[in-house]
Amino acid sequence: MAYVLNPKGMNKCIGCLTCAIVCAVANHNNHSIIKSAIKIRTKGGMTSSFIAIVCRGCKEPACREICPAGALELRPGGGVLLNTEKCFGCRKCISACSVGAVNFDDETQRPIICCHCGVCTTFCTHDCLLMEEGEEVGGNA
């Protein structure tokens, strides 16, 4: 069964960044939100609501299409998985993502891409994020 992350409940988000911290810990063994595949931002100012910038699980990901190394492999259910052995850190995937969900790790010189593991949803205390079964959630970003 394949799942994709769905940030539809963001109206309940308080900006605690727990989702970003647990993502970084679970996937990169690091407590810095810089190592997270999910970014939480305001919609515009300190009094506005929050948005989650994260992979939307595109069926035909632009990040994969532009990768000259073939390091981004299609993930069942949508989105991509990073093959770090093939990646040489060209950063083309970053500009190709229309939602800005591909981040870069300056230490490893590799992109940080959501693997849809669901750890962020498990630790979100306000149920802002959910994992849904499907081919694609949130549009072909």
Q: Please answer whether residues 105 and 35 qualify as being in contact, where contact means their C-beta atoms are separated by less than 8 angstroms.
A: yes
Q: What pLDDT, on the 0 to 100 scale, is given for residue 4?
A: 62
Q: What are the domain boundaries of the chain?
A: 3-133
pLDDT at res. 6: 72
Q: Which residues contact 88 (CB under 8 A, 6 or more apart)?
A: 69, 71
- Give how far Cα 9 sits from Cα of 32, 57, 113, 116, Å: 24, 17, 21, 17
Q: Kindly report the pTM of this predicted structure.
A: 0.85
Nearest to 61 by CA among 46, 78, 76: 78
22: left (phi over 0), alpha (psi -120 to 50) or beta: alpha
The CATH architecture that domain 3-133 belongs to is: 2-Layer Sandwich (3.30)
The tens digit of pLDDT for each residue in 18-61 reads 999 999 999 999 999 999 999 999 988 777 789 999 998 899 99
